[in-house]
Structure 1
Amino acid sequence: MDLVDQEENLRARLDELRQEHRDLDDAITALAQTPSPDQLALRRLKKRKLSLKDQITRIEDALYPDIIA
């Protein structure tokens, strides 16, 4: 696999992770607005969302490295 294919794969994975992150955000909002939200479920969703954010950051760092001038 060449560098272009790897970059395309990373970009596709980044899009998937961002979509899942948005979906989790919607799910968390909906669950939090219920009369008596399941706190354990909320914690699990928030933990998964944070994990996704970490993965997104790692991929973004790989795709867009900091260039120090």
Structure 2
Amino acid sequence: AQIALAEKVHELGVYRLPKRLDEEVARLHLAHLGVKLTVLREDQAKYIGVPVEGPYKPEHYRY
């Protein structure tokens, strides 16, 4: 995420990470926590209306 943000010049301010990057960072933390994430099957992804590879939440979703 830091590399992706550093590749582009931004004006001083507060920015939200795109969901794709946010979920990528979260996946990288899972191994450190001892958590194994299973990959969605095609039918599961279709049922909830998301791509198999994510992101799994819409851009407007906030934690």
Q: TM-score, normalising length from structure 1?
A: 0.28
TM, length-normalised to structure 2 = 0.30
